[in-house]
Amino acid sequence: MSQVVSICFVCLGNIVRSPLAEGMFRELVRKRGVERKYQVDSAGTSAWHVGEPPDWRMRRVASRHGLNYDGRARQFHPEDIQAFDLIIAMDSKNRDDLWSLCTSQEERQKIHLLREYDPHGGTEAPVPDPYYGGMDGFEDVYRIVTRSCESLLDQLEKDSQSWEEQ
């Protein structure tokens, strides 16, 4: 990996799960004082919400927890595969859509599911999409994304220490 690790979080529309993960990861690296080590973005596999702000329900839940985030939805493009060191999908459908853009096994290896890093997740566990449900679903997603991003950052920091020791 390069000195600065570039990460793109990806969901379907880039208005709920991936912007939350982007905002959460940014806040975690800020709190740990390692902002200079990470470049973070998010995108959606679809173009449905391009230019829109994150979903108001997720913004409300995040705000209740002290996390404010903004930005505008964008679509993931094939050239993003080369631009990022790590691409984190919210579910297997998003991952499969991203894999379809890859031209090599090396590119496919950059793509992971966020819940691979969740102590309560698993290798194929999705971050559920709360879009069509109630506010409880947004709270659940907030908790899942928080612990998954914390664990992802722990792993990246551990890996960077190993690289520095070599």
Query: Which residues are identified as catalytic?
Result: 11, 17, 129
71 torsion bin: left (phi>0), alpha (psi -120 to 50), beta (else): left
Pull the structure tokens for residue 106. 């090396």
Rounded-to-integer distance, Cα 92 and Cα 162, Å: 30
Pull the structure tokens for residue 44. 């959606």
Pull the structure tokens for residue 94. 């998003």
